[in-house]
Amino acid sequence: MAATSTQCQRVSLLDNWESSIHGANRRSAYPLQAFDTLFAARAWVTGLVRWYNHEHRHSAIRFVTPAQRHAKLDQQILDRRATLYEAAKQRNPLRWKGPTRNWKRVHTVHLNPDQTDNFEPIKRDHRQEQKAA
């Protein structure tokens, strides 16, 4: 008899690390070879962190930087964008089929949101586990 488990095998302890590396290796400045020294590696990572926090605009927080978000500058930026988009829609309404982009502030941000839509329980045969033990 098979039992259903609600354990999610997709979760990795390295999810945050893996996602940051995924973002890092898509940058044009990603090193193609190993670093010559530990200092060179640290300098590159310092530059990556600066870029990530002060230049890279994140889609999850409506295309503002984490630094802008932490400094509470995001609401002002988003309000300006909403005004700009509405003015553009008024100037050329045929270009817009529906509402403009949503520029409302995201109040809660999740680093690794659960993806319950893709979740399927894992069926386990406990007889197999007992035989292996």
Q: How far is Cα 119 from Cα 6, in angstroms, rounded to an integer?
A: 9
Nearest-5° angle of CA 49, CA 51, CA 54?
100
- The identity of residue 88, as a single letter, is A
Q: How far is Cα 39 from Cα 45, in angstroms, rounded to an integer?
A: 10
Model confidence band, residue 5 (pLDDT cutoffs 50, 70, 90): very low
The structure tokens listed for 72 are: 């509470």
pTM (2 d.p.): 0.63
81 within 8 A of 103, measured Cβ to Cβ = yes
The model's pLDDT over 36-45, given as tens digits with 9 standing for 90+, comes to: 999 999 999 9
The model's pLDDT over 77-104, given as tens digits with 9 standing for 90+, comes to: 999 999 999 999 999 999 988 999 999 9
The total of other beta-carbon atoms located within 10 Å of residue 17's CB is 10
The model's pLDDT over 63-80, given as tens digits with 9 standing for 90+, comes to: 999 999 999 999 999 999
Model confidence band, residue 133 (pLDDT cutoffs 50, 70, 90): low
Question: Domain segments of the chain: what residues?
Answer: 51-91
Coil/strand/helix, residue 24 = helix
In terms of pLDDT, which residue wins out, 3 or 126? 126
30 within 8 A of 52, measured Cβ to Cβ = no
